[in-house]
Copies of this chain bind each other. A is one copy, B any other.
Amino acid sequence: MLTVAVSVAAGVAAITSAFPALYDYRVAMGVLFIAGIATGNLRGLRESSNLFALPTYLFVFSFAGMLAYGLVRWAAGWEAAPPAEIAVPMSQDLTIFVVLRAFSSGCAALTGVEAVSDGVPAFKPPEARNARTVLAWLGIILVALFIGITFLAHHYHVTPRAEETVVSQLARLIFGGGLLYYEIQVVTMLILVFAANTAFADFPRLAYFLARDGFIPRQFGTRGDRLVFSNGILILGGLAALLILLFGGATHALIPLYAVGVFVSFTLSQASMVRRWLTRRESGWQWRWVMNGLGAATTGLVMLVIAGTKFRHGAWMVVLLIPLLVVGFLMIRRHYADVARQLSLDNYGGPPPIDHSVLVLVGDLHRGVAAALRYAQTLSASVKAVYVELDPERTRKLEEKWGKFGLGIPLVVLTSPYRSLLTPFLDYVNHLLALGENHVVTIVIPEFVPARWWQHLLHNQTALLIKGALLFRKGVVVVDVPFHLR
């Protein structure tokens, strides 16, 4: 979720840097981007599509070009560096803490490289070697871009501002605005939106595994019409959009949460590898567990430094949320195990026989009620109709009609001293339920179905009231019998 929120927020920032008039709409733009990506994924858009190759190459070459041009300008001394706009503290004691912080921030800037390791099976054979080549290239490109941008940002005295990204300021200074500047911004936006898309490919699959193992609701394990895990996509999109809303679409506010989350997962995966080597003792385990142990220690240290320094800037949420999620997962798994036990057919003697009463609740007698009576007769030979008396005069009229059109079904009249419809009826149902342990009461309610939607408002929603009062009542089944009006 944080990957989606951070990437989209940064993508929107690239656009609002180029078009400041859009700055006020950054939250709406972020939500729209997420809705667009989610819709694409619901309709079956795949990450492996060639659609994604072009912007990736464009991004690498555009940035390389920008940095090269910037360095040439610097080397040739074409322009004087503009004066520093803000006085920044020039020196700081190089304590161990400052080193740790710098190291952590640097690490956070380089996340995403590990994505290659998740995709090894998708490479052409020999998979491992090809993946290693890609990883090496990725490292070189990333480090080159990182150092290049840092160097030029220092040279041009560019400092982060809320309204304009560092990249935008740099591109503006190097190209002096114009078409090339806008190209850099659009390509940045595209690559970041595609980064968000990665999470839409991975989260629903992760959710599927968790659902299969009973740690989260099973609905995450079912595929939608286009064979995608629609529930995972919807939840991911919804929560990422919520994060954008809560943090006002500000990238810098989301980064602490993101960084803690990322390094928790890195630490956990490295630690699990250590455990694996120590348990299974496969070939080379002696030096492999040391390597992964070193990895766990490094990423764990980064996590602690970020969680500590950024605790008050939102990292506390992640620190709080992760234990809560784990507790939730365990509760859900216990519930599923419990249900499975209760439903199991082991040592099952079959369902007990049912002692069945069928009641038709009537408020009048007309064609709709008559149809419901006929239906109830097909359910049981001993149907009874129940009427709650609010006005004896109406009872007399009803009984008159009943003689002619009551289909021979006995009519039980319940008196209601306090003009309540529900209480006497519920008392009567309780009385029937008390007759035996395996007693089931089926309550048939005649219901109008008007021809047009607004006409629903014009009829008493007695059926709804009764259903509400008896919902989830043990031994009670409520059946609406619709009567369709023209």
List residues of A whose CB falls within 8 A of some B CB. Answer: 217-219, 222-223, 225, 227, 332, 335-336, 338-339, 342-345, 348, 350-354, 356, 365-368, 370-371, 373-375, 378-380, 401, 404-405, 407, 418-420, 440, 442, 448-450, 455, 457-461, 472, 474, 476-482, 484-486
Contact = CB atoms under 8 A, between A and B. Distances in A.
A374 B351 contact: yes
Given A218-B460, A332-B458, A477-B375, A343 B356 contact: no
Nearest to A418: B225
Contact of A366 (B338, B343, B380, B479): B343
Given A218-B458, A375-B440, A367 B354 contact: no
Given A223-B419, A332-B458, A442-B479, 10 more contacts: A218-B458, A219-B461, A348-B370, A351-B367, A378-B379, A472-B482, A472-B484, A477-B479, A477-B481, A477-B482
Contact of A227 (B367, B419, B450): B419
A420 B227 CA distance: 10
Most buried by B among A227, A354, A407, A476: A354
B477 A477 contact: no
A400 to B, nearest CB: 11
Q: Nearest 10 CB-CB pairs, A to B? A: A343-B366, A351-B374, A356-B378, A351-B370, A351-B371, A449-B472, A343-B367, A217-B458, A379-B379, A479-B479
A477 B474 contact: no
Contacts of A371: 351
B374 A345 contact: no
Contact of A219 (B352, B378, B380, B460): B460
Nearest to A378: B356
Contacts of A450: 335, 339
27 contacts: A217-B457, A218-B458, A218-B460, A219-B460, A222-B460, A332-B458, A336-B458, A342-B485, A343-B367, A344-B367, A345-B365, A345-B401, A345-B404, A345-B405, A348-B370, A348-B405, A351-B371, A351-B373, A351-B374, A353-B374, A356-B378, A375-B477, A378-B379, A378-B380, A474-B482, A477-B480, A479-B479
A484 B380 CA distance: 24
